[in-house]
Amino acid sequence: MARFVAAIDQGTTGTTVLVLDEELAVRGRAYREFPQIFPQPGWVEHDPEAIWRSVTESLGEALAAARVGAGELAAIGITNQRETTVVWERSSLRPLANALVWQDRRTADVCARLRADGHLERVRARTGLVLDPYFSATKLAWLLDHVDGLRGRTERGEALFGTIDSFLVARLTGGAAHVTDVSNASRTLLLDLRKLEWDDDLCALFGVPRACLPSVRGSAEIYGVTRGVAGIEDGVPIAGMAGDQQAALFGQACFAPGDAKCTFGTGAFLLMNTGAEPVPSRRGLLTTVGWKVGGEVAYALEGSAFVAGALVQWLRDGLGIIAQASEIEALAATVPDSGGVVVVPALAGLGAPYWRPEARGVIVGLTRGTTRAHIARAALEGIALQNHDLLKAMQDDAGRRLATLKVDGGASANDLLMQFQADILGVEIVRPALLETTALGAALLAGIGAGIYRGIDEARRVWREERRFRPAMERAEVDAHLARWNNAVAKA
């Protein structure tokens, strides 16, 4: 009997499900968008029920496309938008509030007070993170303080907290499992990075009751089995989990220290494998857990740019410069350069290495001669330029220079963007044949957890290069781009 693995890639704007066979060939694929909710400037929410519908609908469609019969679905893997915070009722699994999305900045003042009170270095040393509204702890604290009766219910164990992975496992197992994996837990500001356990001091600092937290598990093991999910038979093991960026690092076969990838999704996320020991950052990057497989832990350095593909969506939905996101490359290619226009994509603040939640996006260098094509090209260049700052900090922290950078995510299909990225970084950009490496990582982890695959060598076997972009820009031109970029960032 054939055996298949379903990978649920629950992202910020939609859910993708891939169904892969034992040779890791994609046999079925489906995608569902869901609405973004913006109650006021700086606030970003999701309806957890809309997320769940997007998962079940895309899962059903992908399984039907793959023609998976009874007993043939061997495992489910989950990868997810990470810091997004959900609370739900234990008994009914009903969400008790909208999810606060990782982009949400409403707790910026709380983070500023904690920094002013001298907590930053202790938090950074314990978690590898910084005090920023990006992470889950202050989001959860906000919900506990603003949703009527929620704090008391969490203290009594009646209401539960989780990132999206935890919420999906709870729904898939009919409430039998309340779990997360080490990679997602490491994004909450509540996990001791070395012990890989919830930290009582951090829970006290943020006012989070331990009773609402999920158990912390590895990234490739059986967390529970399906129960009562429409369109899926009961008893299918959920056997792999990782946050989206860690799953992409795994799916890109970045298994050796120094291997690195950049995912171009809603944001841009550059991660480097640093091996079995966490590497503290001196340049404003994050130290995070990559994965835990078979008792072995891999850590990573991470630089996060909050807005990448979301900038293209804004040009489409906010400004109407393009009708579809796929049009931007052709439009940008109609001009030889940006005409001096620079776009800083700080629509949700600036992440690493700046960590300025109050920053806002800017467009500088506009003239009467500026056209929508110039703005489109400057937007693509801005996505790439912010990665220059991340890579420079990463190389300084790691003490090594990258020769190649693997890329994935939807925007990595944009050849103009990838060539400019290679030019600005001065490294070769390597694009794989399968751009959906986030889902591939989840499938691999699930297959390992369910005993279908032997281990990480499976990822090396399946990974294939599609194209390589080599730096071609003169140094003087690179320096001119960086000078304009630094001037624009100062205005953000």
Give residue-wise pLDDT tens across range 1-17: 568 999 999 999 899 99
Distance, in Å, from the CA atom of 412 to the CA atom of 408, rounded to the nearest integer, reads 5
Q: Where are the beta strands (DSSP E) in 142-285?
A: 159-162, 179-181, 191-192, 197-198, 215-217, 224-225, 237-243, 260-264, 268-275
448 found inside a domain: no
User: How confident is the model over 168-226, as pLDDT tens digits?
Assistant: 999 999 999 999 999 999 999 999 999 999 999 999 999 999 999 999 999 999 999 99
| Lookup result for tokens 């999906």 | 168
Listed residue (103, 43, 86) closest to 267, CA to CA: 103
Answer yes or no: pTM beyond 0.85.
Answer: yes
175 phi-psi bin (left φ>0, alpha ψ -120 to 50, beta other): left
Environment class of 469 (CB within 10 Å of its CB; exposed 0-12, middle 13-18, buried 19+): buried
Question: What are 62's two structure tokens?
Answer: 């992908």
Distance, in Å, from the CA atom of 187 to the CA atom of 128, rounded to the nearest integer, reads 9
Q: Where are the beta strands (DSSP E) in 207-340?
A: 215-217, 224-225, 237-243, 260-264, 268-275, 286-293, 296-305
| Lookup result for tokens 């003490």 | 399
| C-alpha distances in Å from residue 307, one per residue of 16, 37, 68, 278, 345 | 20, 16, 37, 26, 6
389 found inside a domain: no
Distance of CA 360 to the CA centre of its chain: 21
Which pLDDT score is estimated for 375?
94
Range of the domain at 145: 4-244
Which pLDDT score is estimated for 153?
93
pLDDT under 70 in the chain at which residues? 1-2
Number of domains in the chain: 1
Q: What angle do CA 41, 43, 45 make, to 5 degrees?
A: 140
What CATH number did the domain enclosing 86 receive?
A: 3.30.420.40
190 found inside a domain: yes
65 found inside a domain: yes
Which pLDDT score is estimated for 247?
95
What three-state secondary structure class fits 432?
strand
Environment class of 235 (CB within 10 Å of its CB; exposed 0-12, middle 13-18, buried 19+): exposed
408 found inside a domain: no
Which pLDDT score is estimated for 1?
55
Which pLDDT score is estimated for 17?
96
Distance of CA 405 to the CA centre of its chain: 17
342 found inside a domain: no
257 found inside a domain: no
405 found inside a domain: no
| Residue 279: φ, ψ to 5° | -105, 110
Which pLDDT score is estimated for 2?
64
